[in-house]
Each structure stands twice: as C-alpha cells, then as structure tokens.
C-alpha cells in the first residue's frame, strides 16, 4: 500500500480535489432550466455568485440580464450580468443597495418571465435589506454579536430571515406570478434550503418567536430596535403552502458531501484508504478538534476506524465562542486545539480549511498541523495554549508559516478537514487490526 512521501503535498492535493468538485463552472451547466418564453432575470448573492453567473452566461440559451453580489475581492467579469461587491460577514451599504435592486428586479418580472436565482454561502450578509424601523447599523451590530456568540449557522440565519425584506421566501414572493428557479451551492450542515443564504426563495418554517428565542439563548439583548421589531413581528415570512411560492423551484448543484467524496476518491487512487466521518459536524471548534484528535489516535493505536496509512475526512461548520482578542477563525481554532490534544504524536498530519478560501476574517483558508507543530512553536517562543485562550490561532500558525492560502475560490461547500494517519515508526500497536 502506498504511503505519501510528502504529507503536506498529499493533503493539499485532497483539498484541491474537493474544490474542483465544487467548481460552479462544472456544477451549474447541467442544472440550468429550459429557457423562459419571456425574459430571464438573473439574481444572485454569495461567494460563488460571480462564478455561477459566468457559468450561466456560458451555457444558458435564453436572453439574460441581472445582478449578482459577491464579497469584496470576489468579482469576476461577466458580459450580461452585472457583478457588484459588498461586505461580508458584517453587512454594509453596498449590500443594502444590491438587495434593494435585486428585490426591485424581481418585482418587475411578469408571468412569462423567469427569475433565475444563484445562491451560495455568504448570501445572508450580502443581501441585507432592513425592515422599517431597523437600521443597517443595528443589523451590523447584531451580526457581529451573533458571530461572537457561538450560535450555529442555522440559528443565525433564523434570526436574519426575520430581519430582512428579501430573505425567508420574500424574494420569490416579490417575483410572483413569475416563476423562480434557484440554483444553490450548499455551505450549511444538512443542506437545508431555508438556511442557505437565509432561504430567499423558499418557505420559512420558523417564526419571529423562534428568532427571539435564539437571541435569548445567547444572551443577546441589543440592539433594542431589533428586539422590538421581533416582538411586534409586523411582517412574518411566507410559510409552507403559501400560494405565492407555488412557482418557486429549487435545485442544489453542489454539496459538501460531494467535495468530501472527491477527496476520498483522490486518496484511494493514491493507494490510501479514506473514510468520511461526516459532512455536517457542528460544535465548538476546539471541542471538535479534541474529538477528532482522539479518533486519529485510535486509528493509529488500534486500527479503528481504519488501519493506517489512512485518511479521515470530515466537513460541517463549527463555531467559536470568542473570548479573546485574537485573529483566529474556526478552522485554525480547530487545528490548534487538535494539535494540543495530539501532544506531538508522530505520523499524524492534519489540514483544515474553509472552502471559500477565507477562515474567519483573515485572507487565509486554514492551516496544517504536523507532528512537530508544538515543538517548532516552543522553539520560537510561541505559547500554543495562550494562543488558543486568546482565540489567536491565525497568529499562531502565521508564526510557524503553516497557513494554507488559496485566495478566493469562488465556491463554498463549508469546512474541509483531512487527517492523514501513518503507522508510527517501529510498527503498529500490538492490538492494531491486521
């Protein structure tokens, strides 16, 4: 059985395989609907929206016009679909303008027209349209509090759906009686259409009361205007069975599991067995790091769940409850906690990265842990435990030169984690499976 001679290069190749499997140019064309008898209006939001728009322009037979919004630095050239940029993850005025224009274009659509919606991770922040009585700075403050609270993406987007005039089915409601056809790339555990970009074209099963419960759960009591609006709830989101959503159709074109399967196939072609532990793993990043470190050690010591050499793959979206002033994202926090749990275990290498190319707010996708990560840090005078306590995992891996930089990938299928386990020098443990 082949054993990778360069573990870092091997793990980076697995990441590239995962990203290639989620490339919108590969996933969108076969999912496109038939051309509309009327006009086709393309509206989109998210980190993959520009690449998805390029795929539509290259492969859609009908007439097109429209607008998509992406984070700053993610724009790509399109001929017929306008691409604009806005802030992520905390919304700004550019995102408000983009959302208002998108809603207006949807409202203009006639019964013979088609509104083709392109959604991917990041769409919740990029399409922000405050309801009456709520200001943009209120929503920015709320988003910042949610991001620091440890709330899951499902919980955050439940709140967002009830504080925006485009989310939670409202875009499809505005387009009615025109048909709406949504192509989405999932970046959320469970691939729930109501959670992806906060579900602007699907019915919302949650209520304002659910949104209030999320804020109460995490002790978020400000801004006051937000809580007052959710208490009054003057405009609930469209619910399942709403006739104005009867012509709204939805198709997932890329999912996290498919990216993991592509990485697993690449590993097996290299002669290394691969096991996907799950594509929807959630929880505090540091706790997930400790759990996966224990699984890697079990693999090495006992041959469970695989006999080394082996690759353990997983995805999902962890959370970070921010208590320090560091610059860490969830993937690097996962890695730092894992490194501490491994305690320098030999022959275990780990890569974790956000598939959009940005982990947290740093222009770094993630990092890699090697058997000598802690030793090299100590030699540089870098305290791993102090960095974890300060939520400064990016700073930690920056000092070691172990960051993974991809630049914007123009896709987003959530977090990617790969653990390469080889048998320790001298052979496997006595109780390891043969």
Report residue 230's pLDDT band, with 50, 70 and 90 as the boundaries. Answer: very high
Q: What is the predicted pLDDT for the residue at 62?
A: 81
Q: What is the predicted pLDDT for the residue at 362?
A: 84
Exposure letters 261-277 (e unless 16+ CB within 10 A, then b): bbbbebbeebebebbeb
Q: Taking residues 95-116, what's their average pLDDT? A: 97
Distance CA 226, CA 133 (A): 9
Report residue 33's pLDDT band, with 50, 70 and 90 as the boundaries. Answer: very high
Q: What is the predicted pLDDT for the residue at 112?
A: 95
Read off φ and ψ for residue 333, nearest 5 degrees: -65, -40
- Is 80 exceeded by the pLDDT of residue 372? yes
Q: What is the predicted pLDDT for the residue at 3?
A: 66
Q: What is the predicted pLDDT for the residue at 173?
A: 97
- Is 70 exceeded by the pLDDT of residue 205? yes
Report the phi/psi class of residue 133: left, alpha or beta, with left for phi > 0 and alpha for psi in -120 to 50.
left
Please enumerate in sequence order all residues whose Cβ is within 8 A of that of 246, keeping only pairs 6 or more positions apart, or say none: none
Pairing assessment for the beta strands 179-185 and 81-86 based on DSSP bridges? unpaired
| Contact between 143 and 220 (Cβ < 8 Å) | no
- Is 90 exceeded by the pLDDT of residue 386? yes
Q: Taking residues 71-98, what's their average pLDDT? A: 95
Q: Tell me the helix, strand and coil percentages in the chain, rounded to 5.
A: 40, 20, 40
Distance CA 60, CA 118 (A): 13
The predicted model scores a pTM of 0.92
Three-point CA angle 43, 49, 53, nearest 5°:
70
Q: What is the predicted pLDDT for the residue at 426?
A: 58
Domains of the chain: 7-19+257-421 (3.40.1480.10), 32-254 (3.40.50.10180)
- The average confidence (pLDDT) of the chain is 94
Q: What is the predicted pLDDT for the residue at 89?
A: 85
Report residue 430's pLDDT band, with 50, 70 and 90 as the boundaries. Answer: very low
Report residue 90's pLDDT band, with 50, 70 and 90 as the boundaries. Answer: confident
Q: Taking residues 81-92, what's their average pLDDT? A: 94
Closest C-alpha to 137, from 183, 96, 77: 96
Distance CA 320, CA 334 (A): 9
Read off φ and ψ for residue 269, nearest 5 degrees: -65, -30
Q: What is the predicted pLDDT for the residue at 2?
A: 54
Q: What is the predicted pLDDT for the residue at 431?
A: 41
Closest C-alpha to 71, from 50, 57, 52: 50
Q: What is the predicted pLDDT for the residue at 125?
A: 92
Q: What is the predicted pLDDT for the residue at 326?
A: 73
Distance CA 354, CA 329 (A): 9
Q: Taking residues 171-192, what's their average pLDDT? A: 96
E strands, 52-110, in order: 64-71, 81-86
Distance CA 46, CA 48 (A): 5
Cis bond before residue 49 (omega within 30° of 0): no
Q: Taking residues 290-318, what's their average pLDDT? A: 96
- Is 60 exceeded by the pLDDT of residue 413? yes
Exposure letters 87-111 (e unless 16+ CB within 10 A, then b): bbbbbbebbbebbebbbebbeebee
Q: What is the predicted pLDDT for the residue at 360?
A: 81
- Is 50 exceeded by the pLDDT of residue 434? no
């Amino acid at each position: 059985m082949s054993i990778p001679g360069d573990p870092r290069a091997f793990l980076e190749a697995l990441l590239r395989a995962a990203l290639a499997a989620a490339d919108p140019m590969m996933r969108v064309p076969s999912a496109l609907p038939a051309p509309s008898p009327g006009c086709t209006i393309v509206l989109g939001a998210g980190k993959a929206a520009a690449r998805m728009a390029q795929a539509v322009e290259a492969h859609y037979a009908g007439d097109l016009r429209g607008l998509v919004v992406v984070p700053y630095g993610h724009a790509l050239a399109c001929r017929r679909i306008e691409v604009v940029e806005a802030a992520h993850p905390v919304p700004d005025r550019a995102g408000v303008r983009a959302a208002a224009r998108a809603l207006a274009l949807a409202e203009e659509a006639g019964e013979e027209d088609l509104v083709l919606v392109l959604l991917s991770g990041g769409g919740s922040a990029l399409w922000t349209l405050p309801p009456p009585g709520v200001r943009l700075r209120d929503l920015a403050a709320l988003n910042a509090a949610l991001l620091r609270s440890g709330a899951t993406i499902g919980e955050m987007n439940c709140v967002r759906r009830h504080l925006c005039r485009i989310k939670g089915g409202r875009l499809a409601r505005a387009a009615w009686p025109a048909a709406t056809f949504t192509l989405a790339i999932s970046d959320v555990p469970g691939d729930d259409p109501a959670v992806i970009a906060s579900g602007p074209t699907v019915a919302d099963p949650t209520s304002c009361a659910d949104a209030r419960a999320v804020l109460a759960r995490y002790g978020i009591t400000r801004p006051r205007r937000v809580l007052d609006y959710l208490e009054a709830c003057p405009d609930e989101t469209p619910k399942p069975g709403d006739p104005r959503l009867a012509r709204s159709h939805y198709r997932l074109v890329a999912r996290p599991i498919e990216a993991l399967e592509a990485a697993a196939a690449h590993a097996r072609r290299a002669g290394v067995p691969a096991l996907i532990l799950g594509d929807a793993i959630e929880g505090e990043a540091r706790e997930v790091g400790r759990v996966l470190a224990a699984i890697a050690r079990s693999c090495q010591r006992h041959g469970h769940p695989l006999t080394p050499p082996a690759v353990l793959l997983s995805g999902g979206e962890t959370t970070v409850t921010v208590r320090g002033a560091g610059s860490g994202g969830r993937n690097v926090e996962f890695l730092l906690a894992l490194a501490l749990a491994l305690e320098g275990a030999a022959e275990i290498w780990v890569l974790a990265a956000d598939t959009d190319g940005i982990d947290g707010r740093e222009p770094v996708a993630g990092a890699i842990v090697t058997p000598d990560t802690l030793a090299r840090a100590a030699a540089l005078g870098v305290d791993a435990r102090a960095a974890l306590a300060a939520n400064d995992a990016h700073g930690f891996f920056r000092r070691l030169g172990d960051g993974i930089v991809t630049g914007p990938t123009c896709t987003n299928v959530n977090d990617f984690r790969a653990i390469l386990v080889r048998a320790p020098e001298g052979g496997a443990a006595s109780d390891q499976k043969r």
